Structure 1
Amino acid sequence: MTAGFSDTERRIDNIWKIEQRRLYLICQIGGWSLYAAYMGVLLAIQGSLTWRSVADVVFTTTCLMGLSHLYRKFVIRHKWLQLTFPRLLLRMLIASVVLSMLAIPIGMLSTLWFSPASFRFSLFELLGPLIAGTFIFMCWSLAYFLYHYVSSYGRSLKLEAKANEIELNRLRSQLNPHFLFNSLNTVKYLVDENPNKAKDSIHQLSNILRSSLMMGKKLLIPFEDEIDIVKDYLALEQTRFEERLQISYDIKGDLSSFKVPPMMIQTLVENGIKHGVAQLVDGGEIRIKAWRDEEVLYCNIYNSGYLNPTNIPNAGYGIKNTEQRLWLLFGGKATFEIQNQDGGVVASLKLPKWQEEKV
């Protein structure tokens, strides 16, 4: 899993860096172009818009853009992007003042070249450009660091989503050999005792495996499809247990809009048979009840066994797998509980309706 995640992480990281550089260039050129346009509008309002003044604005803006680009390289080299905002704020202010001081001689030089007649030098008159330059570069800094934090957060979400997907695939892949092993054991008991039933069971097993393979690449499947798999599996198990296994279903309402992780309910049913019904001399019962309450699906799987509360971690393979998959898919919005109730064990699922935009 680690190798797969590293490859995925590198691909996402490369795409993210390319998109980041492209967006930076667009914002850098676009932002300073707007500044140049603003200065041109001011010149037009003042009635001093000439080719010399335009050249002055273009040259000065180009130099300021170059300064900001060098500032970005300095920020990356000295790892300012890894600093917390309180530590970063003072650095941003000092850097803006320094950049403004560097911009003043550039502006003076541009004026000497393109508008020498309007050139005046006074230490007092430098205060205005210093304050204005500091404000401009401070705005640039805030915009740049804000973009960085937002884009980094988006990247971390993508990596987290991919890690969750890889973990879900791992958990789901564990179910297939586990399920197959138990199902083949069921067929094995019938080969000598009842060859005809064994043939029927093999046919049922092939149907179950075909369904599981078709759904193998999906994180979620319709609840009705999962119930169909459960029914096929219980029919297979009933061939083995005969009258020792009683089955009942209580599915209420239209549940077609709800989705569940594939093989999840089947695994809980299998767990109930292995650790509940199969341990009883006279067998027992499996009851499946499902209903909805607005946008929430409830599903209870009952078996006639007994659960030792101190031994829940070892009570079955499906418990830990179910908890992990629900957490990765739904977070805290889905719940899973298993407890002794009504003379048996009840595994209770509560699932919200899946929103496609979460995928």
Structure 2
Amino acid sequence: MRFDGISPAAREQACAALARRAQMAGPAPVVRFLDCGTRMVRLICHSAAFLRHVERQMTCALREDAPGFDATLVIWQERSVAEAALAVVRVLDGTSYRRLRVGRLTGLAGAEAVQVFDEELLRHWPLLDIQPGDGSLSAFAPERDTYYYAVEDLDPEEFIKRGHIFVQLLFRICNVPGSSLAHGAVVGLNGAGVLLCAFGYRGKSTLSVHALLDGFEYVSDDYLILGRKEDGTERDILRAWPVYSVIALSPHAYQAMYDGFRGKFLSNNARKDKYMFNIACYHEQFRRGYPVRLCMFPNICDCVEPSIEPGSRERALEELAFSTLNNTGNPRDAVTIGKLYEFVRDLPFYRFDLSRNIARNTRCLREFMEQLSAI
């Protein structure tokens, strides 16, 4: 069920209905803050179980307090997303509400999704999206820069099927001029970072996590914030910030790193092809506002020895932009594609042909970065 052209007053009433459901979900809320580098998010949590997921996945970004905030995110465990849909539709359209209500009472209607769009305020995404079949809901009140997010099932194995927590919401919150959440990895040496641009299953997580174990400076293996933020000495430098303390490794990669790896197991991601770990034990190697000096796109091949050569700017940009949008939003989002292009267009680009030997790949990257530092 789609609604367009809803008045601001009706949208506010719909969000107020969700806020009331959040307040009924548990005791007095816990307030925390998510430091996303370019944006600070106030987190209002009405569920202790939900907060535990946030603590495990976003350990490096979670703060007890902050001097201010840019947006608010309200989260709770929803008892019934279908009932939440009815409560919202009752506010938005009484006729539709009566039809849905009668259908539910007579057993003729299944759980119907409810979406509210206003492309003048938010292109590509609904302002409100309630999915009873998925057991989740999200909403955005633009007048107050407040976001709402709830799920029914907080069982760890079920919850983690959704992937990294808040990815799509953080993409919206951080997608402001000069900033964006991106799908990529950043590691580096001596204050010089390399942005690994790649779709999934291209080896960027394995490479970046093994580099972390080898003493590299680290931002992320999967999702991060990219932005330009001036400081007292360097202006207009592309920088990267971590938001997650979780990584995903294939069983093969985990076995290869087993002896030296200290991360805490979280889940097999309910797919059997990836293991998820919390790596808060490595926080001393995490870097915030880390300068990005070059881009690479990894390419898994059957070579005996890995190699790094000048690469295609177009391919790296394509993999960065479309892997980001495929995971966070609409692949036709030309504004974000253009922003990511502006971020990295002046950086040198390289192709990194990865061998099947993880240690050799990391050694190759170290030697390459050390040579660059010496120039």
Q: Which TM-score band applies after superposition, normalised by the shorter structure? A: under 0.3
Q: Which has the higher strand share?
A: 2
Q: TM-score, normalised by structure 1?
A: 0.22
Q: TM-score, normalised by structure 2?
A: 0.21
Quick check: which has more Rg, 1 or 2? 1
Greater relative contact order, per chain length (Cα 8 Å cut-off, separation 6+): 2
